[in-house]
Amino acid sequence: MKLKQRVVLLAILLVIFIFTKVFLIDNLDTSAANREDQRAFHRMMAGLRVELTPKLDHTLQSPWEIAAQWVVPREVYPEETPELGAIMHAMATKKIIKADVGYKGTQLKALLILEGGQKVVFKPKRYSRDHVVEGEPYAGYDRHNAEVAAFHLDRILGFRRAPLVVGRFVNLRTEIKPVATEQLLSTFLTAGNNTCFYGKCYYCRETEPACADGDMMEGSVTLWLPDVWPLQKHRHPWGRTYREGKLARWEYDESYCDAVKKTSPYDSGPRLLDIIDTAVFDYLIGNADRHHYESFQDDEGASMLILLDNAKSIRVSTWNRLNYLKNGVLKSALHSAMAHDPISPVLSEPHLDAMDQRLLSVLATVKQCTDQFGMDTVLVEDRMPLSHL
């Protein structure tokens, strides 16, 4: 073989070797990432059941101090939470020392301060477990039990962006009225033998109060985020207009998504992927009304989208987690996570079945996208360092 031919052959072999090595490294990286996703899923499943217990043997800190220290820019609570049961027990049992009307919003809620100074938001029961709200997806009152279920779904999906929520029974006559502000107290009334209140909010009406069973009211309590983490509200880029007959731009403009991707904070960092995660989350819980969202202030798009009042590309880790949850695993996981909640059973069987069905719809939609545009276009590897974090 002539020298020139040998050089050309060697060059070709070298190119093949380099491409093979790069391909193998990429595959190894992907396999390692997938294995880590699988390990994270098994860790989550192993620690899913939370027993509410007052014990905090290994620390002198209060439950409120522990929960406050958990909060960082990209998660509200960590993956490993051995103290979660004690914190939720405190939320469900600690003495209420003050009660006031809830922060401004569209739905009825009360702001409670528990022993130790911890704020929580109380949402009262408005529907029975099997009640079906007719009409638009955003019709009707907020469901207190949906808040509890949404928190545990956040745990199951591995997002860790929802504040802690637990069910609680309160006696309106003995626990709330004696410590209520005049503003809240003025909204109390009696309907038959039941104590009721209607609070202060955009849709709150004296003619539509929330009523206890006698004096005992079932509800949910959501842990207030620490004041050192002030929130900033953002208009959701895919929100609706709230004007009858008027479409939002995303409903008719095919180029809208490209425009969003060029707009801060969606043009860099994790925010756009957070929006997509949240769209999956909202679809699973049946929330069609996330017209705004919150993040921590002055974060330049780096902090998470916080899942309060509880999709384009999708994270590989989210895709993997959703696939692990099919074939009834999601329903089983929710059963296990909520088994020890004070208001258990939190969801009815039809609600759990509906979530399993919605999961299949999400998977089918993403599969359709990957078939059309390719895996590399649709699935984004999110375990790489982000430039401004």
Which pLDDT band holds residue 334 (cuts at 50, 70, 90)? very high
Q: Per-residue pLDDT for 354 more than 70?
A: yes
User: What pLDDT band is residue 313 in, cutting at 50, 70 and 90?
Assistant: low
Q: Where is pLDDT greater, at 331 or 132?
A: 331
Q: How long is the chain? A: 389
Instruction: Please list, in sequence order, all residues whose beta carbon lies within 8 angstroms of the beta carbon of residue 351, skipping any fewer than 6 positions away.
Output: 129, 149
Given a cut of 50, is residue 232 above it in pLDDT?
A: yes
Q: What is the DSSP string of 183-231?
A: HHHTTEEEETTEEEE--SSTT--TTS-EE-BTTEEEEEEEEPPPTTS-E
Choosing from 197, 223, 249, the residue where a domain stops is: 223
pLDDT at 23: 40
Domain boundary among 208, 223, 238: 223
Instruction: Please check if 223 is assigned to a binding site.
Output: yes
**CA 43, CA 310: separation in Å to the nearest integer?**
25
Q: Is 299 one of the annotated active-site residues of the chain?
A: no
Q: What is the pLDDT of residues 59-75, one digit of tens each?
A: 778 999 999 999 998 99
Per-residue pLDDT tens digits for 250-285: 889 989 988 998 998 888 888 888 999 999 999 998
- Burial call 342-381: b when 16+ CB within 10 Å, e when fewer: bbeebbeeebbebbbebbeebeeebeebbeeeeeeebbbe
Angle separating helix axes 316-324 and 271-285, nearest 10 degrees = 20
* Per-residue pLDDT at 243: 82
Return d(Cα 341, Cα 236) in angstroms, integer.
32
**Strand 216-223 to 165-171 pairing:** antiparallel
Is 130 annotated among the ligand-binding residues?
no
Question: Residue 381: which pLDDT band, with cuts at 50, 70 and 90?
Answer: confident
pLDDT of residue 90: 97
Q: Are residues 209 and 245 in the same domain?
A: no
Dist CA 42 CA 200 (whole Å): 44
Question: Is 225 marked as binding a ligand?
Answer: yes
Predicted confidence (pLDDT) at residue 332 exceeds the cutoff of 60: yes
The answer as to whether 43 is a domain residue is no
Asked whether the predicted pLDDT for residue 224 surpasses 90, the reply is yes
- Of 143 and 298, the structure prediction assigns the larger pLDDT to 143
More confidently predicted of 312 and 148: 148
Distances (CA, A) of 52 to 56, 86, 339: 11, 6, 10
Residues 299, 367, single domain; the answer is yes
Torsion angle defined by CA atoms of residues 369, 374, 375 and 376, in that order, rounded to the nearest 10 degrees = -130
Q: Is 142 annotated as a binding residue?
A: yes
Mean pLDDT of 218-242: 90
Residues 185 and 302 in one domain: no
Task: Round to the nearest angstrom and report the end-to-end CA distance of the chain.
Answer: 56
Residues with Cβ < 8 Å from 46, sequence gap 6 or more? none
Per the domain annotation, does 13 fall within a domain? no
pLDDT at 310: 56
Q: Do 311 and 278 meet the contact criterion of CB atoms below 8 Å apart?
A: yes
Query: Would residue 348 count as lying in a domain?
Result: yes
Least confident piece of the model among 42-56, 109-123, 203-217 = 42-56
| Number of domains the chain contains | 2
Decide: helix, strand or coil at residue 237.
Answer: coil
Whole-angstrom Cα distance, residue 84 to residue 50? 7
Q: Is 24's pLDDT higher than 80?
A: no
The reply to whether 217 and 238 lie within a common domain is: no
Residue 252: count other Cβ atoms within 10 Å of its Cβ.
Answer: 8
Q: What percent of the chain has pLDDT over 70?
A: 87
Residue 215: pLDDT over 90: yes
The beta-strand segments (E) located in the chain are: 96-101, 110-114, 118-124, 165-171, 188-191, 194-197, 210-211, 216-223, 231-235, 292-296, 314-315, 379-380
Per the domain annotation, does 55 fall within a domain?
Answer: no
Q: Is residue 301's pLDDT more than 70?
A: no
Options 100, 274, 277, 289, the catalytic residue: 289
Domain enclosing residue 250, as ranges: 228-380
Say if residue 217 is in the same domain as residue 241: no
> Lowest-confidence range among 86-100, 181-195, 283-297, 324-338?
283-297
Written as one letter, the residue type at 368 is Q
Q: Are residues 271 and 347 in the same domain?
A: yes
Instruction: Supply the pTM of this predicted model.
Output: 0.87
User: Is 51 a domain residue?
Assistant: no
Q: Is residue 121 part of a domain?
A: yes
| Pair 217, 245 in one domain | no
pLDDT at residue 49 is higher than 50: yes
Residue (of 389, 365, 366) closest to 379 by Cα position: 366
Predicted confidence at residue 196, as pLDDT, reads 97
45 in a domain, yes or no? Answer: no
Identify whether residues 104 and 203 lie together within a single domain.
yes
In a shared domain, residues 236 and 214: no
Q: 116 in a domain, yes or no?
A: yes
Tell me what pLDDT residue 295 has. 84
> Among 180, 195, 223, where does a domain finish?
223
User: Binding site annotation covers 274?
Assistant: no
Residue-level pLDDT at 181: 97
224 is in an annotated binding site: yes
User: Is pLDDT of 300 > 70?
Assistant: no
| Eight-class DSSP state of 83 | T
- Least reliable range by pLDDT among 237-241, 335-339, 357-361: 237-241
Task: Please answer whether residues 29 and 22 qualify as being in contact, where contact means their C-beta atoms are separated by less than 8 angstroms.
Answer: no
For 238, how many CA atoms within 13 A lie in the half-sphere containing its CB? 16
User: What pLDDT is recorded for position 291?
Assistant: 81
- Segment 167-192 shows an average pLDDT of 97
List of residues 6+ apart from 251 with CB closer than 8 A: none
Residues 205 and 271 reside in one and the same domain: no
Would you call 65 exposed, middle or buried from its count of C-beta atoms within 10 A (0-12, 13-18, 19+)? middle
pLDDT for residue 88 is more than 80: yes
Per-residue model confidence (pLDDT) at position 84 = 96
Tell me, yes or no, whether 181 and 269 share the same domain: no
Q: 365: pLDDT confidence band, cut at 50, 70 and 90?
A: very high
* Percent of the chain's residues with pLDDT above 90: 57
- 320 shares a domain with 276: yes
pLDDT of residue 308: 67
**Distance separating alpha carbons of residues 304 and 296, to the nearest angstrom:** 8
Q: What is the pLDDT of the chain when averaged over all its residues?
A: 86
